[in-house]
Chains A and B, each alone.
Chain A
Amino acid sequence: MKILYHFGRYLNLLLKVFKQPEKRAVYRRQFMVELDNLGLASAGIVAIISVFMGAVLTIQMAFNIDSPLVPLYTIGFATRQSIVLEFAPTIISLILCGKVGSRIASEIGTMRVTEQIDALEVMGINSASYLILPKIMAAMFIFPFLIMMSMVLGVAGGWFAGTTTGLISSYGYVYGIQSFFHMYDIWYALTKTVVFAFIITSVSAYHGYYTKGGALEVGNASTSGVVYSSIAIIFANLILTQLLLA
């Protein structure tokens, strides 16, 4: 029953969020601020993780492909597929969920317990829309770019690790990553990313928006925001994969 209560309240919050904005110019400015806060500020961690995960994937592929019947370029092919289909959109989204989700939940939660949200409401401002809509829109816009960057850096990291360790030649790796390429795989990954961006921002914002109490509860809201967004991402991943690839 509690799940239904939260789901209903979450849907109600979304209805408030997507109501007509008060002043579009202010929302546009907030959107730009959130692009920086949620997107550009996460580029560094995404880059580092992507390069190293790509490198590790390539080395693991090389060690697992020990049959002479399997051509070596399969290493490049399998690394690319793993990165494009799952690692970049899902694992990076889960990492962003930890970074961005906790930020959103704690920021909005703190605003709630320090009465900043009440101050907005007293002024006659739709606080849910003003605080949450720019975050959702910014994340849905910028996350696909982060994921594309992750794909490129992951594949590049794999090339670097594969060639410097001598597991595969540069030509073989590049041939592998070009083999059996379907543009649809990229669209599939980006579609998932946009959905995950919506989940991360809206679920975390929900937990922050309904925080009650003080510092301890803000911490709890931040943790809940990350946990429930992660679970929602994993479910959505399964459903989207079934819908888009089956």
Chain B
Amino acid sequence: MIEGKNITKRFGERTVLENVSVRFDKGKTNLIIGQSGMGKTVLLKCLVGLFDFEEGEVRYDDRLFSSMSFNEKKSIRREIGMLFQGGALFDSMTAEQNVMFPLTMFTSQSPEEKRDRANFCLSRVNLENANSLFPSELSGGMKKRVAIARAIALNPKYLFCDEPNSGLDPQTANLIDALIKEITLEYNMTTVVVTHDMNSVLEIGERIYFIYKGKLWWEGNRDNILQTVNPELKAFVFNSELTRRLKPV
């Protein structure tokens, strides 16, 4: 379980997050949704420790992550897998080397063991013939899948995904969503996904937090999001023809 309490983040004079409290349960796909520029990714980066914040705290299974030093955080960070928006694969490494990288850094496995684990992770994301390809040779969807394979290489307890299906066609986006959901259940992870894709919300949103102007505006699940009376959330949810057709009359 991951818990963020009263998080306030400022960039200079600008308050990007104000008193945001969230709780993500184990074995569930938790979503942070909202329009672009509302603070979703900033909240995610505060949760994983990439941004320091002015007020509040972050706990991982009751371990107070936000007040730990860089070295103390290392043990928790090794339990975290993260999928970045663009994949963030290392350009100088092949797909296989990218997946092997965390194993090389944090385990004493032999090269064969690491290669076996990398192959297993790549096959888990349905990517079996891309081992020797460099990131520049991979399509957007393949990059995301390699990034997921890298994220799960160390059997993480927590998985963070920053807009996992941005820039992908609807079919590939659905595949990535399905993969995230499957992996979450399979490894019983606490998964947090930042997205503004309503399709993902309806497909995988077991717990949903809607961020608006840096504040937590609404929380619920995919079943009650369509019945919302919150005007800002309604504007967000029913902004396309497809979702307008789902609107309850």
Which B84-108 residues sit within 8 Å CB-CB of chain A?
Answer: 84-86, 88-91, 102, 104-106
Taken residue by residue from 14 to 42, chain A's Cβ proximity to chain B (1 for < 8 Å, 0 otherwise) reads as 00000000110010000000000000000
Interface presence of B204 (CB below 8 A): no
Interface presence of A178 (CB below 8 A): no
The minimal Cβ–Cβ distance linking B77 to chain A, given in whole angstroms, is 3
Interface presence of B5 (CB below 8 A): no
Q: Which of B50, B75, B90 contacts A118 (CB 8 A)?
A: B50
User: Looking across the interface, which residue of chain A has its beta carbon closest to that of B153?
Assistant: A123
Separation of A114 and B89 alpha carbons in the complex (Å): 9
The minimal Cβ–Cβ distance linking B199 to chain A, given in whole angstroms, is 24
Q: How many residues of A contact B (CB 8 A)?
A: 16
Which A119-146 residues sit within 8 Å CB-CB of chain B?
Answer: 119, 121-126
Taking CB atoms, residues of chain B closer than 8 Å to A114 are 86, 88, 91
Contacting pair A122 B74 (CB below 8 A): no
User: Looking across the interface, which residue of chain A has its beta carbon closest to that of B86?
Assistant: A114
Taking CB atoms, residues of chain B closer than 8 Å to A115 are 84-86, 88
Separation of A115 and B135 alpha carbons in the complex (Å): 14
Given A114-B86, A114-B88, A115-B86, decide whether A122 and B50 contact each other with a Cβ distance below 8 A.
yes
Contacting pair B82 A119 (CB below 8 A): yes
Contacting pair A123 B78 (CB below 8 A): yes
The minimal Cβ–Cβ distance linking A208 to chain B, given in whole angstroms, is 14
Interface presence of A179 (CB below 8 A): no
Separation of A26 and B102 alpha carbons in the complex (Å): 11
Interface presence of A116 (CB below 8 A): yes
The minimal Cβ–Cβ distance linking A218 to chain B, given in whole angstroms, is 13
Taking CB atoms, residues of chain B closer than 8 Å to A122 are 48-50, 77, 80, 82, 160
Interface presence of B124 (CB below 8 A): no
Separation of A115 and B82 alpha carbons in the complex (Å): 11
The 7 closest A-B pairs by CB, nearest first: A124-B77, A124-B74, A115-B88, A119-B88, A115-B84, A122-B82, A116-B88
Binding site for B on A (CB under 8 A): 22-23, 26, 110-111, 114-116, 118-119, 121-126
